[in-house]
A and B are shown apart, each in its own frame.
Chain A
Amino acid sequence: MTTDALPANVATRPSRTAFLSRVWHHRNGRIGLVFAVLILLGSVAGWTNLTPYPPDQLGAGSILASPSAAHLLGTDQFGRDVLSQVLQALAVTLEIALLAVAISGVIGSIAGIVAGFIRGWPGAAIMRVADILFAIPAILFALAIVSALGSGVVDSAMAIGIAYVPIFVRVVRGPVLSLYEADFVRAGRVLGYPRRRLLFRHVLPNVAGTIAVQTSLTLAWAILDEAGLSFLGLGPPAPTASLGEMVSNSTSLASHAWWTLAFPSLAIVIAAIAFNFLGDGLRAAFDPRGLSR
């Protein structure tokens, strides 16, 4: 009998192709990865105060100096170095966005798994709550929560995080539902595997990719939402400036000092694109057809 349709030298030994290399070989994934690393490095620099100048130092240069060798992104109306400020603001924005995604990812994924795996009223109840949350636009919802809770870093993160819970619930529940009906899970039941084993060994590994992709995409949205909130003055209070606040503060200066507006805006755009594209790359990398070869 011919079972040897494929050449013998293919995949004869276990070879776990590095996950990151699969992201790298995806066009958008590569762009996302490069930008994401840049964003991360930038915010680490901002976080650890490894900025060219102390971000809040007044008169680090002359007032509203255009970009130069001394101040790569120019200075603002108080003579503060824009690059240093962007880096610090990036760290604040990213901190809020990461915290928000952690909140929505953990709560949403667990709720989604429960809703998909436990039939009957618990699942239905979770979905109805998610539907109600889903009906309210995320930014509006975040606005309401920030107005109610206050506007610290954690408050902003909670506001944005809760707004994105229903998306995770929906995105995770769908695959869990269909996987539980999949033949290979049925085969597991016929083999006597208990539900716990089916969930952790067969269902979850197959939704991990979905969750990772959604995390990356939500991170992009959360960055935009955080920028939006702080642009509206609902971000963390001074002196913790975030990117949205910088944009908001520099709108009146933009006509004679474009750099004060352009660079914080650019940072927002790059950060959002980075995680959006990275999500794309992750999607490709998690495809089981990419395994092994």
Chain B
Amino acid sequence: MADVVLRGTDLAQRYESRGRRVVDALRGVSLELRQGATLGIVGESGCGKSTLARLLVGLERPTAGTAEMSGESMSTLDGRTRARRIQLVFQDPYSSLDPRQRVRNALREVLTFHRLHAGAEEQRIEELLDLVVLGRRFADRYPHELSGGQAQRVAIARALAVEPTIVVLDEPTSALDVSVRAEIINLLIGIQSRITISYIFISHDLSMVRHVSDDIAVMYLGRIVESGSYDQVLDAPAHPYTLALAQAVPVPDPTVVRPRRAAPAIAASSPITRGCDYQDRCPLVESQCREVAPTLDDVGAGHRVACHVAQRRARTP
């Protein structure tokens, strides 16, 4: 088992607006990221994926819980040190680049600020562009002179410029043309084969996550409802929500006939105060689910699931 580079324990984030409205975006999320591996985080919009990303890179402080990188608590790291270890790639590549900064200057700013490759910045900029497979002539372009895919490559290069241990990718393909998504996914995989780097790949799209991830965590309403290795979660989904996500992925084959299922009802607007969060949408709901919230328990070989039904099935083979 490879070293764990990031361990989050019981991370919680609560937003309180002035109108006393309390939103619990994250409600006790624990996760582990292994060195050189990719953890995919899937879930529908509003499940807390992006909150998790912002929290991990230090844009926000969690209201509870801890995150450790290689044994050190992240909250004790200063901004500069933290930045050297964990980076973020945003969804919209254009808005994540300063419109008045040429590609070269954006990359050079990172290098000079962190005093990396002093005296050989230009050479390093070219290396970075090579790493993201972007022609060197793009170095003197402004962001608006790049295509979406090219801009996202620049954003990735900028994140890699500090030589981080971890890159959090927050929906890195969602704003791109479908034709470019595969390129970016392949690029990310290619980079991981050349340098030691761990990814947290956040997406609402299971079909994207499945291409890059070693481990997968499925989030629902601020909690992880299922986690495990790629095979465990995708080949044998245990939680009914994971199953619904998996079945929502279109199969690019017109001859495949799949059972039409009624879409699960939208999550109740009033928060569920008792029992399982998923009870109102769950096709397997039982009386126990209305009373007791399931915990995220191991159902075999590190495959963890928060579902009474799935846990019982695992106990009785």
Contact = CB atoms under 8 A, between A and B. Distances in A.
B79 A184 contact: no
A202 B141 CA distance: 17
B88 interface: yes
Contacts of A194: 79
Interface in B109-157: 109-110, 113-114, 133-135, 137-138, 140-142, 144-145, 147, 149-150, 153, 155
Contact of A288 (B57, B99, B114, B137): B99
Contacts of A6: 145
A193 B150 contact: no
Given A12-B137, A182-B95, A201 B109 contact: yes
Nearest to A185: B98
A206 interface: yes
Interface residues of B, number: 45
Contact of A193 (B59, B82, B92, B113): B113
A13 interface: yes
B42 to A, nearest CB: 22
Interface in A172-200: 182-184, 186-187, 189-194, 197
Interface in B65-111: 79-84, 87-88, 90, 92, 95-102, 109-110
Interface in B148-201: 149-150, 153, 155, 158, 162, 183, 186-187
Contacts of B95: 182-184
Interface in A10-31: 10-14
A292 B133 contact: no
A3 B154 CA distance: 12
B142 A288 contact: yes
A235 B95 CA distance: 48
B222 interface: no
B58 interface: yes
Nearest to A4: B135
A1 B99 contact: no
Contacts of A191: 83, 87, 110, 113-114, 158, 162
A119 interface: no
A186 B59 contact: yes
A7 to B, nearest CB: 10
A123 B29 CA distance: 35
A281 B110 CA distance: 34
A183 B96 contact: yes
A210 to B, nearest CB: 13
A289 B100 CA distance: 9
Contact of A202 (B98, B147, B150, B187): B98
Given A192-B79, A193-B113, A14 B99 contact: no
Lowest 7 CB-CB distances: which A-B pairs, in order?
A: A192-B83, A288-B99, A183-B96, A183-B95, A192-B80, A192-B79, A184-B98
